[in-house]
Amino acid sequence: MTIAIIIVAAGRGSRAGGTVPKQWQILAGKPVLQHTLAAFAGFGRIITVVHPDDFDRAQAFGAQIVAGGENRAQSVLNALRALEGQGVTQVLIHDGARPLVSASVIEAVLGALQHGPAAAPALPVTDALWQGQDGQVSGTQDRTALFRAQTPQGFDYAAILAAHLAHPGNAADDVEVARWAGLPVAITAGDENNIKLTWPADFARAEAVLKGRDMDVRMGNGYDVHAFTTGDHVWLCGVRVAHDKALLGHSDADVGMHALTDAIYGALAEGDIGTHFPPSDPQWKGAESHIFLSHAMTRLRTRGFALSNADVTLVCERPKIGPHATEMRMALARIMGVEVERISVKATTSERLGFTGREEGIAALATATLVRA
Ligand code: MG
């Protein structure tokens, strides 16, 4: 199988709004046509059919370019002819304004072409169908055996070239040409997201689909321990808690906030507190921990993320955390600039086992989830 892909993008239609044809409008930061070409990368050589006025900008995408004709069928024929004598055995013909076509839709068409001369994706019609006139339903239509056609439509190259050459012209799509020539056309699975961008609302939907595909969720964990020393209070998650000991540390020894800060750095794969605030640097001696946490949040936002949630667990026998947990959540949320419902602070004892059980110090664990903003 030597496959060529023809992307038909010569139309001048502007029902989608805007001042440029829809295949040149910007979708999620780049022209629609560029998304479409990317969807076919690796499947075969690509020929793009564009209006002669668009040659310059199409050149930037690297694919072979062919001039469009008077109508869609003529544009396809121009591309088919450009492929003559190059050993192409199968060809996929696709609308430039369908940028969301998935690899599985393409693969299904290619798979069907191993068993027949033509195949195309479609979805069965599930809504009831009506005729309408003057705002009134004037009739109903049986939807049995009706399908909504999509692209890419795939063909034996020689067969579809011959069919186009013989066809009287102006077919709605290439399946119509193939059937006119007597080729059996297999129906393969379409995809609801494989929409043809036509109306302004289609662009909003396409952006949402692309955003979902690009979803970037990251998790990080943090762990910290500080030993007790003499004193009369501890700082935990931004709250001063009276206690008969203090926590020993280079800064204010807020073990919970340190674990949380490291969880955020961890999710960003940007080291830990020590990476950004070296303990060897005297300017951070005694620094309040909210400086570290604020810095981690700035890094998070600079990298284009938002904090989805964070969960901190303090491990100690005393002081009792429960009475302060809400205040701790509020303090952290304030420093981090997020809603309090995204922040959890809870505690456990270690059943008097180990260093926390012997009340030699406090341990803290934290998890943070980041999502691409
Ligand atoms: Mg620490």
Report how far ligand 1's centroid is from the alpha carbon of 285 (Å): 12
- Name the pTM for this structure: 0.62
| Higher pLDDT, residue 21 or 221 | 221
* Average of per-residue pLDDT across 246-265: 94
| CB-proximal residues (5 Å) to ion ligand 1 | 224, 258
What is the 323 CA–ligand 1 centroid distance (Å)? 23
Cβ neighbours of 96 (radius 10 Å)? 28
CA 290 to ligand 1 centroid distance, Å: 12
Tell me how far the alpha carbon of residue 172 lies from the centroid of ligand 1, in angstroms: 68
Residue 14 has pLDDT above 80, yes or no: no
- End-to-end C-alpha distance for the chain, whole angstroms: 43
Greater pLDDT, 168 or 250 = 168
Q: Are 264 and 337 in contact (CB under 8 A)?
A: no
In one-letter notation, the amino acid at residue 344 is: S
Question: Please, which residues bridge with residue 130 across strands?
Answer: 140
What pLDDT does 20 receive? 81
Beta bridge partners of 121: 188
Contact 121, 191 (CB under 8 A): yes
* Predicted local distance difference test score (pLDDT) of residue 16: 56
**So what's the pLDDT on residue 259?**
98
Residue 11, pLDDT score: 84
DSSP letter for each residue of 91-112 = EEEEETT-TT--HHHHHHHHHH
Centre of ligand 1 from the C-alpha of residue 255, in Å = 5
CA of 358 to the centre of ligand 1 (A): 19
Separation of 218 CA from ligand 1 center, angstroms? 23
Q: How far is the CA of 263 from the centre of ligand 1 (A)?
A: 12
| In the predicted structure, residue 335 carries a pLDDT above the cut 70 | yes
DSSP 85: T
What integer is the mean pLDDT of 342-352?
97
Distance, CA of 96 to CA of 32 (rounded, Å):
8
- Counting every residue, how long is the chain? 373
Cα 284 to ligand 1 centroid, rounded to whole Å: 12
Query: 304 CA to middle of ligand 1, Å?
Result: 27
